[in-house]
Amino acid sequence: MARLEKGAAIDPLAAYRQSGYRAKVAAKRPAVTGAGGGIV
């Protein structure tokens, strides 16, 4: 009810998926090569 009263998305996960945000951000990020060990 609180989401509805504030005008927010009733299902935030569905709204996130529908927005396409993940695809937009993934296109901007460099590809992960996987060659590093993670500890320097």
Mean pLDDT value across the chain: 85
Domain boundaries along the sequence of the chain = 1-28
pTM, two decimals, is 0.54
**Res 25: pLDDT:** 92
**Res 31: pLDDT:** 77
**Res 13: pLDDT:** 92
**Rounded CA gap, 33 and 7, in Å?**
42
**How do residues 19-34 score in pLDDT, each as one tens digit?**
999 999 989 988 777 6
**Res 1: pLDDT:** 87
Count Cβ atoms within 10 A of the Cβ of residue 12 and give its class: 0-12 exposed, 13-18 middle, 19 or more buried: exposed
**Rounded CA gap, 39 and 26, in Å?**
24
